[in-house]
Amino acid sequence: SGAAYAACHDTLLIADLHFGKGHALAARGVFLPPYDTADTIARLADVIARYAPSRIVCLGDSFHNDNSAALLPPALRLRLEGLMDICHWVWLSGNHDPHSGAGLGGEQVDQMPLGSVTLRHEPRFEDGAPEIAGHLHPCARIVQRGRSLRRRCFAASAQHLVLPAFGALTGSLNVRDVAFGGFVSSPASRAFMLGRDAVHAIAAHRLLPD
């Protein structure tokens, strides 16, 4: 799914939902079927039902822009509010939505601790402190049995974990991009690629550029 469950904290982590992206693109003349937010909420509901967490932390860019929450269709707003009633809900500020979730309730913070780990939207690879972040929409590419495979992934190193984007209309950025710092140069780095039914750990030396 792209979500991460921290069992010892009973906390579900979700990155880059980008609710309202289809509506925002349509307003700029890019017409796509307006179902991305409904699909994202449906998949989010499935993940919540699977783990039944006591807390959910959305790691920023939950909304595609700062007014997307106000523009949610009433039926989708009610469904999202129903999910928020299930557990404690935390919105982290993102670059697209510095006031994420305004008017929807839940807790709003810039970053927060999870044990000894900092949760934030944008990763700080130059900082040696452990963190979990989103923002970069990581994906990885490998060649397997002569076939090129490109999938969303968790980008994990000794001190950093970057979650894949959860939203239906989000793009992705190869982990070999310079935005990921020296990720692929570290022997400890792994890309946990999302398959249809499983997550596959791939060593950094196997990861290819696009």
Of 128, 137, 5, nearest in space to 60 by CA: 137
The answer, yes or no, to whether residue 25 has pLDDT greater than 90, is no
What residues form DSSP beta bridges with 22? none
- The 3-state DSSP class for residue 96 equals coil
Instruction: Give the domain CATH number at 130.
Output: 3.60.21
| Residue 105 or residue 175, greater confidence | 175
How many structural domains compose the chain? 1
User: Exposed/middle/buried for 83, CB within 10 Å: 0-12, 13-18, 19+?
Assistant: middle
**To the nearest whole number, what is the mean pLDDT of the chain?**
90
The answer, yes or no, to whether residue 10 has pLDDT greater than 60, is yes
Rg of the chain over all Cα atoms, to the nearest angstrom = 17
Placement of tokens 């009610």 in the chain: 78
Range of the domain at 80: 4-206
Of 116, 139, 136, 140, nearest in space to 128 by CA: 116
pTM, entire model: 0.91
Contact, 163 vs 134, CB < 8 A? yes
Q: What is the pLDDT of residues 72-104, one digit of tens each?
A: 889 999 999 999 999 999 999 988 666 666 678
